[in-house]
Amino acid sequence: MATHFEMNAEPWTLRNYDEADLPGLYARDAPRYLDARWQSVLPLPHGQKSYPPRGFTGGDGRWPTPADFDEWRRSHKWGNLALRPPRSVVGLDRDAYGDRQGDATWMKLVAAAGNLESTWISTSRPGTTSGISWYQIPEALVITRGDLADHGDGVEIIRFGHRYGVVPGSIHPEGRPYVWVGPDGRARDDVPSPGDLPFLPSAWCNLLESRPERPRQVRPRKVRGERGEVLLFAPGSSMPSGQWPKEIRQVVEVATANLVEGRRHTTAVSAVASLSNHQCLGVPFATEALEYLRVKFVEAMAYDLGTQAALHDFEEIVHWADFETDRRPPEARPWAQRSTSRFTPVRARRRGHR
C-alpha cells in the first residue's frame, strides 16, 4: 500500500492506496514524458505551480541527467510536473476565465496571423478554451517576448528560456487534475511527443519573433521608506545617496550593472536572494533596495517581455527566495527565533502576515 492523495469534496488529504490507483505523480508520470522524448520535466511541490529545482530553468539552465531524474523520483515522489520546452517547441497559454481576456486576444491574433491547426492542449479546465496549446517551431526562431500584450491580455508565451508549463500528472492548486486534450478535442491518457505537435504557421512565427513597436511603459513605484517616508522609484532613477548600508548598496550596484542581455534572470536571482537574507536579519533599507531592484528589473525586461510578464517573473524570483530561505535548517535561520516585528511590512505581506 502507498500513501497518496485522493480527490474528495474536501481538500486533498492523505489516504492509503495501491500504487496502481495513483492518479498521477512525478514518480510515476515523469518517465512517460521521458519516453515521449521530452528532455526536461521538472518536479514541483504537490498541488503547486512552483518552484522547480534551481539551475534547470531559463536560457542558461542545464538539462537534467538520468541521475537527476532518479533523485527527483525519490525526493519529489508526489510532486507536480513542470515541462520546460526545448528550443523547437512553444506553448501559447490562453487564460479565458474570470476577468481574463484570453479569448478576445486570441481572436485578434487569429485576425492578424490566421487560424491555427488543432493541436495538443494541456489544461486543468477541459471543456473550456483555457490551456496551453503546444506547437513545433524552427529551432533557429528567436523569440524574446514573453507575452502578446500589444494585442491584448490573457495570452502568454511559454518558450525555451522563459517559463514552463504545468502539465498532466499534476494537480491544480484548486484541486483539479491537469489533462491532455488531443487535436480531436477529446481528453487523452497518452503523452504527446514533440514530434507529434503541428508546426506553428510562419505568420505566427513572425508575430512571436517580432517586438512591440516601442518599449512598454514602466510605471513608477511608490514605496514606504525605512523612516516612513514615501519614496518614488521610477525608470532611470538612481539609488538614494548616502542612506543605504554598504552591504545593501554593494548588492544593488552589482545587480544594476549586470542587468544586461543574457544575464538578467541570473543577476536578479542572486541579488534577490541576498537582499532577502538581509531583510530577515533586519538590515536597514533591505526592503527599499528590493523595491528599487524590482523597478530596474522590469525596466530591463519590459521591452522583450512586457511589463506584466516582467513583474510576474520578478515576483516568482522573490517567492523562490522566500521559499529557499524557509527550507534552511533553524541554525541557518537566526531570524526564525525573533519576533515577527523584525520582519518588514513588505516581507510580512508576502509571508501572509497581514
Which residues are within 8 A (CB) of 228 and not within 5 positions of it... i.e. 6 or more apart? none
Alpha helices, DSSP H only, in 13-161? 26-35, 66-75, 102-113
Mean pLDDT across 196-225 = 73
pLDDT averaged over every residue in the chain: 78
Q: Are the C-beta atoms of 103 and 154 separated by less than 8 Å?
A: yes
Query: What is the domain partition of the chain in residue ranges?
Result: 2-209, 221-350
* Strands 2-6 and 121-123, bridge-based pairing: unpaired
pLDDT digits (tens, 9 = 90+) for 160-200: 988 899 999 999 999 999 999 999 999 999 999 999 999 99
The pLDDT confidence band at residue 291, using thresholds 50, 70 and 90, is: confident
Q: Of 87-91, 141-145, 225-229, 252-256, give the range with the top mean pLDDT.
A: 87-91
Q: Are the C-beta atoms of 76 and 64 separated by less than 8 Å?
A: no
pLDDT digits (tens, 9 = 90+) for 30-44: 999 999 999 999 999
* Strands 131-136 and 41-44, bridge-based pairing: unpaired
pLDDT digits (tens, 9 = 90+) for 221-235: 555 555 555 455 555
Q: Give the position of cell 511527443.
A: 193
Q: Are the C-beta atoms of 280 and 325 separated by less than 8 Å?
A: yes
The answer, yes or no, to whether residue 149 has pLDDT greater than 90, is: no
pTM for this entry: 0.65
Q: Residue 32 corresponds to which cell in the numbers above?
A: 512517460
